[in-house]
Amino acid sequence: MRLFEPVTINGTELRNRLVMPAMVLNQATEEGFVNEDVVQHYAARAKGGVGMIIVEATGVLDRKSGRLLKIYDDKFIPGLRQVAEIIHEGGAKANIQLVHFLRISRSGWRETPADLSLKDVQQVVDDFAGASVRIREAGFDALELHMAHGYTLSSFLSLIGNNRGDSYGRSLEGRLRLPTEVYNKVRSEVGRDFVVGCRVNADDFVLGGSTLKHSRAIVTRLDRLGIDYISVSVGGRPEDGPRYAGYSGSRAMPTSDMPDAVNVSLAADLKRQVKAPVIAAGKIPTAALAESILQEGQADLIGIARPLLADPDFPNKAKDGRLKEIRRCTYCCKCCVLDRNFEHVYCVTWAGHDKRKSCTKE
Ligand SMILES: Cc1cc2nc3c(=O)[nH]c(=O)nc-3n(C[C@H](O)[C@H](O)[C@H](O)COP(=O)(O)O)c2cc1C
Kindly write down the DSSP assignment for every residue of 288-355, as one continuous string.
HHHHHHHHTTS-SEEE-SHHHHH-TTHHHHHHTT-GGG--------HHHHHHHTTPPP--SS-TTS-G
Candidate of 149, 251, 253 to mutate for ligand 1, largest count of ligand atoms within 8 Å of Cβ:
253
Q: Compute, in angstroms, the gap from residue 253 CA to the centroid of ligand 1.
A: 6
Contacts with 257 (C-beta within 8 Å, 6 or more apart), sequence order: none
The pLDDT of residue 355 is above 70: no
Candidate of 231, 306, 328, 346 to mutate for ligand 1, largest count of ligand atoms within 8 Å of Cβ:
306
The whole-angstrom separation of Cα 68 and Cα 344 is: 11
Provide the domain limits for residue 180: 2-357
Q: Tell the residue nearest (CA) to atom 4 of ligand 1.
A: 23
Residue 287 falls inside a structural domain: yes
Residue 218 falls inside a structural domain: yes
State the closest ligand 1 atom to the C-alpha of 283, by its place in the atom list counted from 1.
25
Contacts with 20 (C-beta within 8 Å, 6 or more apart), sequence order: 45, 50, 52, 53, 54, 303, 304, 305, 308
Q: Compute, in angstroms, the gap from residue 117 CA to the centroid of ligand 1.
A: 31
Residue 171 falls inside a structural domain: yes
Distance between the two ends of the chain, CA-based, in angstroms?
A: 33
Residue 323 falls inside a structural domain: yes
Strand partners, 18: 302
What is the model's pLDDT at position 317? 98
Question: 357: pLDDT confidence band, cut at 50, 70 and 90?
Answer: very low
**CB 285 within 8 Å of CB 292:** no
72 is annotated as an active-site residue? no
**Cβ 18 under 6 angstroms from ligand 1:** no
CATH number at residue 57: 3.20.20.70
Dihedral pair phi/psi, residue 9, rounded to 5° = -120, 115
pLDDT tens, residue by residue, 96-114: 999 999 999 888 899 999 9
Candidate of 20, 24, 309 to mutate for ligand 1, largest count of ligand atoms within 8 Å of Cβ:
24
Residue 25 falls inside a structural domain: yes
Question: 361: pLDDT confidence band, cut at 50, 70 and 90?
Answer: very low
Report the number of distinct structural domains present in the chain.
1
The whole-angstrom separation of Cα 359 and Cα 362 is: 10
Q: Which among 11, 9, 15 has a CA at the least distance from the CA of 315? A: 15
Q: Tell the residue nearest (CA) to atom 6 of ligand 1.
A: 23
Residue 362 falls inside a structural domain: no
Q: Compute, in angstroms, the gap from residue 127 CA to the centroid of ligand 1.
A: 23
HSE-CB of 59 using CA atoms within 13 angstroms = 21
Residue 136 falls inside a structural domain: yes
Select which of 72, 151, 183, 331 is catalytic.
151
User: If DSSP codes are grouped into helix, strand and coil, which group holds residue 95?
Assistant: strand
pLDDT tens, residue by residue, 41-64: 999 999 999 999 999 999 999 999
